[in-house]
Amino acid sequence: MIPTSIKNIGRINIFFLVLILLFTLLSAFWQIGTIPPSAVNTFLSERIISACLGVFLVGICMLWVKSVFRKTSLAVLSGFILVTQPWFVQEIRIFSPFLYASCALTILSFSIQRIRSSTIRKLATFCFVGVIAILSFLLVPGNFRIPISVVDGKLLLQNFFSLLSFEKLFIKNQSFWSGEASDVGIFLPVLFPFLIIGILGYPWRKGIFTLLFCWVVIVSLVAALSATFPEERVFFLALIPLLIYAIGGIKRAFSWNWLPARSILFLGFSLIYGYSYLYFLHLYLFHNSLKVLQYLEKLYVHF
Amino acid sequence: MKTRYILFGIVIIAFLLRLFYLGKTPLALEWDEVALGYDAYSILTTGKDQFGKFLPSTFRSLDDYKPPIYEYLTVPSVFIFGLTPFATRLPSAVFGSLAVVMTFFLGQTIFSKISVTKNYSIYISLLSSLLLAVSPWHLQFSRAAFEVNVSVFITISAIVLFLRGLTSPKLFFISALLFGIDLFSYHSTRVVSPLLLITLFYLFNRKLPPRRIVGIFLAIYILFIILVFPILISKDAQIRFTATNIFTPGARYLDEKDLPRQFLQERIKDENAGFAFAGKIFHNARLIYTDYDTLKKALGNYLSNFSFEYLFVKGDAPLHHAPGFGLLYILELPFLVVGIVFLLLKGFNRYSAFTLLWMAVAPITNAVTREAPHAVRTELILPTYQLFTAFGMSVVFMLLQKQSRWAIVTGITCITFLFVISLASYLHQYYVHTNYEFSKFWMSGRKEAVEYTERHKNEYEKIYVSLHLEMPHMFWLFYTKYPPPLYLAQGGTVSGGFADERNHFDKYYFRNFTYPENPSEGKILYVGLPRDFPPGVAIKETIYYLNGEKAIIIAE
């Protein structure tokens, strides 16, 4: 008996879904022990856990996108886009408590959106906020241990906007002190216009986008308070909501009625996307591995 | 009828301000001007430039490969007035004055199509042309031989005729001709003018003439593109871009990123690791134009052209403004802001959109070149500032009209008075202080040095002129009015480079020297900067800048 939901997906979508899951497995597990290079204190098991969670997160993300935008093809596309984003690829291949938190938050958010019962929604909301608070406290040394009166407002604002800047999001993500691919941003640059369209096209007061908006703002504030800024990875928690906005932007951009324009846009987008992703892979697999090897023995935190 | 008289009056003011003391203020010609003048003289007498090239489509000049329009326009001026500073600067002054006329028609064309300004379009146009006539920015370049000033006139005319040609085929064709000629007027114009044309076609696509007319327009324009294309792709003509762009390190800018070298190093790493193909794809030298830090610098360069300090306080290089003055009157600022805001809110249509886009497009070329902001390279932005300012003034006037009579009179009187004071202050700074404070930058002293050496050259075997005087061969050719046929018979200019020591004519040798040179070469006269000579040298003549600083030393 084939469930109705799967029957409705369509054969083409199933084909691409399987392809993307295979691609995710390849991205997560291929040479997981050597790329990035393993230090003395690197545990392969921790990397495998991250890889598994990464694959799981791609699945959850696809389900959530389908739930938000009600389009299967868009959901499948979102999985592909998520698994090709530079920061996501890097995090799922190393020990990453931020990935664990991101999974938890995504599941909770998905629950908030899907579950009708208001009590459970409230509970899920409480857990959501609680997860962020606890993780901030545990993962970011110095957070909430500093009296509020010594928090530098100017620096906080500077850090906050720096996190949401074009440079950090698309050009140079300097969250890694272990020498990972800092020559690329959090996302591939080609997603920039779609992120803008998504943010403008989906007002923050509407439905699930209120949650996404607050999610990004809270995470950004917490990350901005980090004592190790700009080398903090808390901002990874904002990757999923920002990606949802970008997916929304893609949906709006390709809803143009005029077919020739849509075709040209799609062709251009695909070519630039492909080149950007291959460029990132080249940097990550080759150049940055060389860089990490140079000072591997000096790294004291396991990854 | 009244409009014609007022416009005539404005044009007279424009001509007077541009022609009065032309050739004397600024005090001297700088190296580009002497090069333009001498090339025109050479074309007049031989049909060839200083390098011996017959009727060139681009002038090698100081190895910067100048576009030809200004040189050819200077030929009749030199024919009538001789090779003088006045004759060299005259085309700029004349076309600067004509630009004031075309600004009136431009204002008329634009403001008559905007609903809020339809009834006042004539007054706004007259105000725009008056503002351009007295504009410090436009005056500065109308009174010196700058090719871009002629380009401004051609661009304004081309745009006016395009807009008017939407209903008149004849004007449309002339516009095509002018857009085509514009490609030969100045370096920056080769980028800005086509962008403006594309903008016009895009914004007015529904109002274009019939396809046949548009086809002829494009055919005329494409013909000019075909003519300019060999210049654009030639390595020689690209020297100017190579020397000034921010993507390749310049000889005098050692702190800049060497992107070609960085890309090469990355490619070598890939090749050594067996990824040669990946290296060619991802570290291709053509991708230096996508370097983020350089693009960020380009954005900064672009935005600097709109900075308050640059526009209203102190301009950029000393050659580009009067001492203590910016490029626009500070009094224009509030009206400029009011004009832009009101146009966006109340008068936004294709015509106003084009004007705004014109303002946005003009500084694009300066974004990717060094020395930003740069008043010369972005002069094509004129007269958009004047159009917006005039509109802003009309908005203020319309608001004043609703007030009581005494408020109107007081308001207009105050504004007029302040403008007159600003203009008087600018003219004082320009005519009195420029020569005194900026004589060094305008390379004064060369003429006096030439006169001295000409008077005494028979007493010496050779005359060595130091290259530290920067392009000295051009100054000596210009001020001696050395006959081009004779000069070309001797080989002409060998190179327009700053450090080239091969140029010479007559007894003059343009080279660096260590004083004193080998006495067996005979009696030699040396001309150089004070730092070219050790203490105790037998000085024959010392030439000073107007501020008392030593400019040139002549010794034997």
From A276's Cα to the closest Cα of chain B, the distance in A is 10
* pLDDT at res. B68: 94
Q: What is the pLDDT of residues B391-426, one digit of tens each?
A: 999 999 888 888 888 888 888 899 899 999 999 999
On whether residue B58 sits in a domain, the answer given is: no
Look up tokens 């105000």; give the residue: B127
> Whole-angstrom Cα distance, residue B396 to residue B418?
15
Q: Do B275 and A287 touch (CB under 8 A)?
A: no
List, as one string, the DSSP characters of A163-226: HTSHIIIII--TT-SS---TTS-SS-GGGHHHHHHHHHHS-TTSTHHHHHHHHHHHHHHHHHT-
* pLDDT at res. B496: 77
Determine phi and psi for B463, rounding to 5 degrees.
-130, 115
Give me the count of residues in chain A. 303
On whether residue B53 sits in a domain, the answer given is: no
Q: Do A287 and B269 touch (CB under 8 A)?
A: yes
* pLDDT at res. A2: 44
Closest CA to B358 of B2, B72, B57, B103: B103
Q: What is the pLDDT of residues B463-480, one digit of tens each?
A: 999 999 989 999 999 999
Whether residues B263 and B330 share a domain: the answer is no
Q: Search chain B and give the residue with CA nearest A167.
A: B292
Closest CA to B163 of B86, B111, B127, B118: B111
* pLDDT at res. B255: 63
Domain boundaries, chain A: 7-298
How far CA B512 is from CA of B465, B516, B554, in Å, comes to 7, 11, 14
From A112's Cα to the closest Cα of chain B, the distance in A is 40
From A166's Cα to the closest Cα of chain B, the distance in A is 11
On whether residue B101 sits in a domain, the answer given is: yes
Judge whether residue A229 has pLDDT over 70: yes
Average pLDDT over residues A221-231: 80
Q: Do B292 and A167 touch (CB under 8 A)?
A: yes
Q: What is the pLDDT of residues A163-222, one digit of tens each?
A: 999 989 998 888 766 555 567 889 999 999 999 999 988 877 677 888 889 889 988 988
Judge whether residue B106 has pLDDT over 60: yes
* 3-class SS letters over B409-435: HHHHHHHHHHHHHHHHHHHHHHHHHHH
Q: How confident is the model at residue A151 (pLDDT cuts 50, 70, 90)?
A: low
Q: Do A290 and B269 touch (CB under 8 A)?
A: yes
Whether residues B508 and B547 share a domain: the answer is yes
Judge whether residue A143 has pLDDT over 60: no
Q: Search chain B and give the residue with CA nearest A286.
A: B270
> Whole-angstrom Cα distance, residue B85 to residue A202?
64
User: Are A86 and A187 contacting, i.e. CB atoms less than 8 angstroms apart?
Assistant: yes
Determine phi and psi for B544, rounding to 5 degrees.
-110, 155
Q: What is the pLDDT of residues B174-199, one digit of tens each?
A: 999 999 999 999 999 999 999 999 99
Q: Do A171 and B292 touch (CB under 8 A)?
A: yes
Whether residues B417 and B450 share a domain: the answer is no
Whether residues B269 and B408 share a domain: the answer is no
Q: How confident is the model at residue A290 (pLDDT cuts 50, 70, 90)?
A: confident
Query: What percent of chain B is predicted at pLDDT more than 70?
Result: 96
Whether residues B260 and B367 share a domain: the answer is no
Whether residues B339 and B472 share a domain: the answer is no
On whether residue B518 sits in a domain, the answer given is: yes
Which residues from B are below 8 Å from A172, CB to CB?
292
Give me the count of residues in chain B. 556
Whether residues B126 and B232 share a domain: the answer is yes
Helices (H) and strands (E) in chain B, counts: 24, 6
Q: Dihedral of CA A267/A271/A274/A276: which sign?
A: negative
> Whole-angstrom Cα distance, residue B444 to residue B440?
6
Judge whether residue A238 has pLDDT over 90: yes
Number of independent structural domains in chain B: 3
Whether residues B115 and B230 share a domain: the answer is yes
Best interface-test mutation with A: which of B259, B265, B275, B282 has the largest number of A CBs within 10 A? B282
Q: Do A290 and B270 touch (CB under 8 A)?
A: no
List, as one string, the DSSP characters of B187-245: TTHHHHHHHHHHHHHHHTTTT---HHHHHHHHHHHHHHHHHHHHHHHSTTTTHHHHHHB
Q: Average pLDDT, whole number, for chain A?
A: 82
Which residues from B are below 8 Å from A286, CB to CB?
270, 273, 275, 278
Q: How confident is the model at residue B232 (pLDDT cuts 50, 70, 90)?
A: confident
* Nearest CB partner across the interface for A282, out of B282, B292, B296: B282
Q: What is the pLDDT of residues A4-62, one digit of tens each?
A: 555 555 777 888 888 999 999 999 999 888 888 877 767 788 889 999 999 999 999 99
Interface size, chain A vs chain B, as Cβ–Cβ contacts under 8 Å = 18
Average pLDDT over residues B297-304: 91
Look up tokens 């294709």; give the residue: B350
Is the overall model pTM greater than 0.80, yes or no? yes
* pLDDT at res. A181: 57
Whether residues B335 and B388 share a domain: the answer is yes
Kindly list the residues of chain A whose beta carbon comes within 8 Å of any beta carbon in chain B.
167, 171-172, 278-279, 282-283, 286-287, 290
Q: Search chain A and give the residue with CA nearest B277.
A: A282
> Whole-angstrom Cα distance, residue A253 to residue A240?
20
- Domain with B419, as residue range(s), is 94-243+299-437
What is the distance of C-alpha B47 from the center of its chain?
25
Last residue within a domain, chosen from B386, B419, B437:
B437
**Helix B121-133 vs helix B85-111: crossing angle, to nearest 10:** 160
* pLDDT at res. A139: 59
User: Are A233 and A175 contacting, i.e. CB atoms less than 8 angstroms apart?
Assistant: yes
> Whole-angstrom Cα distance, residue B21 to residue A201?
61
Whether residues B383 and B325 share a domain: the answer is yes
**B550 membership: H or E segment, kind and range:** strand B550-555
Q: How confident is the model at residue A1 (pLDDT cuts 50, 70, 90)?
A: very low
Q: Search chain B and give the residue with CA nearest A168.
A: B292
* pLDDT at res. A7: 53
Judge whether residue B46 has pLDDT over 60: yes
- Between A105-114, A233-242, B444-453, B506-515, the lowest mean confidence (pLDDT) is in A105-114
Q: Do A286 and B281 touch (CB under 8 A)?
A: no
Of A82 and B240, the structure prediction assigns the larger pLDDT to A82
* pLDDT at res. B251: 52
On whether residue B154 sits in a domain, the answer given is: yes
> Whole-angstrom Cα distance, residue A130 to residue A149?
24
Average pLDDT over residues B113-141: 94
* Nearest CB partner across the interface for B273, out of A167, A279, A286: A286
On whether residue B32 sits in a domain, the answer given is: no
On whether residue B371 sits in a domain, the answer given is: yes
Q: Do B281 and A171 touch (CB under 8 A)?
A: no
Q: Search chain B and give the residue with CA nearest A172.
A: B292
Three-class DSSP category at B503: coil
Whether residues B171 and B280 share a domain: the answer is no
Q: What is the pLDDT of residues B62-78, one digit of tens each?
A: 988 899 999 999 999 99
Whether residues B222 and B349 share a domain: the answer is yes
From A181's Cα to the closest Cα of chain B, the distance in A is 15
Determine phi and psi for A269, rounding to 5 degrees.
-60, -45
**Helix B384-401 vs helix B85-111: crossing angle, to nearest 10:** 50
Of A134 and A119, the structure prediction assigns the larger pLDDT to A119
Q: Search chain B and give the residue with CA nearest A279.
A: B282
From B277's Cα to the closest Cα of chain A, the distance in A is 11
From B261's Cα to the closest Cα of chain A, the distance in A is 17
Q: How confident is the model at residue A233 (pLDDT cuts 50, 70, 90)?
A: confident
